[in-house]
Structure 1
Amino acid sequence: MSTRYDLSGRHAVVTGGAGGLGRGIARALIEAGASVSLWDQNANSLAQAVAELGRRASQRQLDIRDVNAVEAAADAAISDHGRIDILVNNAGVLGEVRPIWETTPENFQRVLQVNLFGTYLVTRAAVGRMLRQEPRRSPDGHLLRGHVVNIASIQGKEGMAMAAAYSASKAGLIALTKSVAKETAKEGIIVTAVTPAAAETAMAQEISAERRADILSRIPMARFVEVAEVARLVLWLSSDDCSFSTGGIFDLSGGRATY
């Protein structure tokens, strides 16, 4: 991982931090000098992740759909570290892979609750606290209070058959990114999103070989994105070098979509 970015003294929160993608992003932030709090529902995976990432990693077990749990976690981050400089909204679930008329309302609601409503709750809590913290100056002299990076999906741009809930949740996340970016543009809080194609994570293992082949056929580079490639883009979006790209949606799809 590149050490170009110096995030020393910064504190980051990564939701879904115990999973493969969240862990990879956390590792990149730590290697750049930040401390990272991993928020996840899976206690065993959290413990493993913190043991793997070392002393600058900490953990918080919570369900991001629970407003009280989210508020308590945000308070704890401020109490322990003084600030939240970086928020990476990475937590998400895939849901059922089937046509909409075969899906269950309970599953559709769960996907939207985790991927969109949970991200809203975490963003609300973190941004509310970022607004109250003293800004830093970027290398160009601009005031910055924090960075929010949302992990959306290429499916949020173009939709995908048999993934209505997931696609809709990620499309909503793209719109949420743009709205919050406009609200915080004058406050020194940079809000962006990444739209990766499928990555080699546990979520990718949930799909069938047939579904995997279908997804792969849509990617001109003919491969899945590497976790480290996502982490490198998140690293730039979390740094002071990203000081004017608020509201930006950054493609990471191997050419599947470039708009």
Structure 2
Amino acid sequence: MTSGNKEEKDYDDEAKNKNEQPTCDSGDDVANESTTTAAATATATKSIASNFMRGKIILITGSNRGIGKAFVDTFISYGVSKIYAGVRDIISAKKITFDNKEYNNQDVVVIPIYIDMNDVNSIITASKQIEESGDRLDIVINNAGVLTRTCPLDNDCVKNLQYEMNVNVYGLINLAKYFSPILGRRRVIAAIANSSDSGSENECGGGNGNGNGGIFVQVNSVASLRCVIPEVSTYSASKAAAFSITQSLKKELWSKYGISVMSIHPGPILTDMIKEVSSTRFNNAPPPSIVAESLIDAIITNSGGDDNKQLPFMIYPDIKSKSLGKAYQSFAEIVHEQGNAYAE
């Protein structure tokens, strides 16, 4: 490294004459090597994830915008076989850019399907439609949700809470009820394919909780863990209720169907929904894709591609949610992961 004095200049000239590079201790080589290693690791991880996701069939509710749209785009990029994109308006779904050419992947089929989480009949109809198609779902992601800006003493508080409960909680229950058997079908198929069925499988797909039943994902938000401003009190209450239901589903779906349940708790994410709360406060919030990538990373990192392994329950995709998750970690590990209700 030169600093302008004669001795160092002469050294550099001599090095050049010998077609050698002068010694430099700036750390650039180490940094470049680190960057190269990180890039290679990312490429390897992407390859593993793509291999695991290849051929998978996925249902995603609320697919037309925000986090739901990001889920669709991300799973397309990983080469899944088919995506059922749940939307309330099939016509509006045509405006979604499901352009497979963007991902250089012509094999992913995206099928918009009518699902209104406030309408149980739409959930039942959608489940029958997929079941009659013969498809076995590998992953169901319940992303759809609603938020109203409501304080506890507002005149319309009860009305808005009922609306949010209908979509965020009752919709979740109905989705799990009618789609779990389709997810569980993977388990029956696996048992037949492996010729390991001992006659213990029932119409629900079994009862020994040994996996092969797919993955049920609930997008719950950090609001399910605490309420920080009065304007989201009813939304937080509905998400807290949804999180309680998700905890129960974790146990029930695993024992009945071998289905892993995962609960995602994003912090502020740059979506239209967050802009409804504040148009400027969350301008630096991360993009929705971070939620989708965190889910795939959690699946791949913790399963190693093994369908028989129960996956981690709680996922914190962004910096703010990770901070809350760190504070919540001890409770979550003891109560949610270990099932020790009183931490005894």
TM-score range, shorter chain: 0.7 to 0.9
The aligned runs of 1:44-123 (5 Å cut-off) are 44-49=91-96, 51-52=98-99, 56-95=109-148, 97-104=149-156, 105-123=158-176
1:43 matched to 2:93:
no
Between the aligned partners of 2:134 and 2:77, the Cα distance in structure 1 is 18
The aligned runs of 1:95-174 (5 Å cut-off) are 95=148, 97-104=149-156, 105-133=158-186, 134=188, 136=190, 143-161=211-229, 162-174=231-243
Out of 243, 256, 260, the residue aligned to residue 190 of structure 1 is 260
CA contact (8 A) 1:28 1:235 kept: no
Aligned residues: 244
Q: Which has the higher contact order (CA 8 A, sep 6+)?
A: 1
Amino acid of the residue matched to residue 8 of structure 1?
A: R
Between the aligned partners of 1:157 and 1:75, the Cα distance in structure 2 is 34
Q: How far is 1:83 from its partner?
A: 0.7
Q: Is there any run of 5+ residues in structure 1 with no aligned partner, and where?
A: 217-221
- Give the 3-state SS of the residue equivalent to 2:315 in structure 1: strand
Between the aligned partners of 2:155 and 2:71, the Cα distance in structure 1 is 32
Out of 238, 244, 250, the residue aligned to residue 310 of structure 2 is 244
Q: How far is 1:231 from its partner?
A: 0.7
Between the aligned partners of 1:148 and 1:12, the Cα distance in structure 2 is 10
Write the deviation string for residues 207-237 of structure 1: whole angstroms up to 9, x where unpaired.
Answer: 234xx53xx5xxxxx9423212101122245
- Give the 3-state SS of the residue equivalent to 1:114 in structure 2: helix
Question: Against the structure 1 CA distance between its residues 135 and 168, is the aligned structure 2 distance closer, same or farther, given a 3 Å change threshold?
Answer: farther
CA contact (8 A) 2:83 2:111 kept: yes
CA contact (8 A) 1:146 1:189 kept: yes
Between the aligned partners of 2:190 and 2:79, the Cα distance in structure 1 is 16
Q: Is there any run of 5+ residues in structure 2 with no aligned partner, and where?
A: 1-41, 101-105, 192-209, 329-344
Between the aligned partners of 1:71 and 1:234, the Cα distance in structure 2 is 26
Q: How far is 1:65 from its partner?
A: 2.3
Out of 287, 294, 300, the residue aligned to residue 233 of structure 1 is 294
Larger helix proportion of the pair: 2
Q: What is the aligned-residue RMSD (CA, Å)?
A: 2.5
CA contact (8 A) 2:61 2:115 kept: no
Identity of aligned residues (%): 21
Larger strand proportion of the pair: 1
Between the aligned partners of 1:128 and 1:156, the Cα distance in structure 2 is 27
| Structure 1 partner of 2:30 | none
Q: How far is 1:81 from its partner?
A: 4.9
